[in-house]
Structure 1
Amino acid sequence: MGQVLTGRRISAYLLLILLQGLLAACDNTPPEQAIKDALAEIETAIEDGDTGTVMDRLSDDIAVERRGRTLQRKDIHRTLVGVFFRYPNRNITFTRTRIELDPVTQKKARVQFTALAWGGQNVLPDDADSYQVDSHWQLDGDWKIDSLTTNGVRE
């Protein structure tokens, strides 16, 4: 009789472990974490000079406001390529990230952060700046930036 209870107990534990694994597989990444992961992906892509990854994180209707000028997708791509050629050694860090998720739909978010950027032709940076970024994101399969406004410290 003791062996039957032990066998049932082992079966119950195995079933519990299996159910935990299945539940863990169904767990989606929380929206805030998914946005943070997307920002980290953008940081890495900028440092690596990967325009494709950066552009993949922008919606088709993206509008970037900078110095009173609005940039569309094509303008953004050109700007990225130009910056990557001008500054072959570049670093960027996003700090003070604040994410405000739309409480109703959970499919839109406002993300504000500070971007510290520096780069140059050689090991030492030729240029550095800090930007206050206010962006609006939308969940479209992946989290993508709909609009973005930046203000540099030196502006």
Structure 2
Amino acid sequence: MYRRSLLAPLLLALAFTLSACGKADPQAQLEAAVQKLQDNLEAKDTSAVIDQLDAGFQAQDGLDRDWARKTMTLMFLRYASVKVIAVTRKSSIDPTAPQSGLTQAQVLVTGAQGLIPERAEPYSVKLEWRYVSDDWKLTRLSWD
């Protein structure tokens, strides 16, 4: 009898723990998407970056997915090594529209043929995200 009364709360606690693990935290998913974008850029994986872009992706003043693909291809051909160093980075989800996220960051982008960067440029970037089909997609990108 003692075993039965102890077993029920343990099973209930286990079920609760497993169900909590099954639901991903949207904030953590957004931050993982940002990190994945950085990793894909550094890996020079154009197709993986394009997969992270929303179908209606826009950058600055009307630049689109095709522009992003061409720009990455040229940059990746020019530099053997590309690094994106996030000096600061903050991501948040819009509390009034939980399918919308925002990342603001100060980044340093470097390009090099060898070990020493030939080019290093600092940028202030703003990335707007949209949650689509269990995945965060980059919808807008702007920089200074």
Give the shorter-chain TM-score range: 0.7 to 0.9
1:26 CA drift (Å): 3.5
State the 1:21 CA deviation. Answer: 3.6
**3-state SS of 1:70 partner:** coil
Equivalent pairs counted in the alignment come to: 143
Task: Give the direction of change, closer, same or farther, for the CA distance of 1:105–1:70 in structure 2 (3 Å limit).
Answer: closer
CA shift, 1:139, in A, is: 0.9
- After TM superposition, the structure 1 stretch with the greater mean CA deviation from structure 2, 78-87 or 14-23, is 14-23
Residue 55 of structure 1 corresponds to 50
Identify the residue that residue 32 of structure 2 maps to in structure 1.
Answer: 37
Residue type at the aligned position of 1:48: A
2:113 matched to 1:121? yes
Q: Where does structure 1 lack aligned partners over 5 or more consecutive residues?
A: none
Structure 1 stretches (4+) deviating beyond 4 angstroms? Answer: none
Moved more, 120-129 or 12-21: 12-21
1:145 matches 2:144: no
TM-score, structure 1 as length reference = 0.82
TM-score (norm 2): 0.88
RMSD: 1.8
Q: Within 1, Cα distance between the matches of 2:23 and 2:105?
A: 27
Residue 47 of structure 2 aligns with an amino acid whose one-letter code is G
Identical-pair percentage: 26
1:101 positional shift: 2.2
Paired AA for residue 8 in structure 1: R
Letter aligned with residue 142 of structure 2: T
Looking at structure 2, the residues matched to 60 and 111 of structure 1 have their Cα atoms a distance apart, in angstroms, of 19
Q: Which runs of 5+ in 2 are unaligned?
A: none
Distance 1:88 1:114 in 2: 23
Q: Distance in 2 between matches of 1:139 and 1:25?
A: 20
Letter in 2 for 1:102: D
Q: CA deviation at 1:9?
A: 4.2
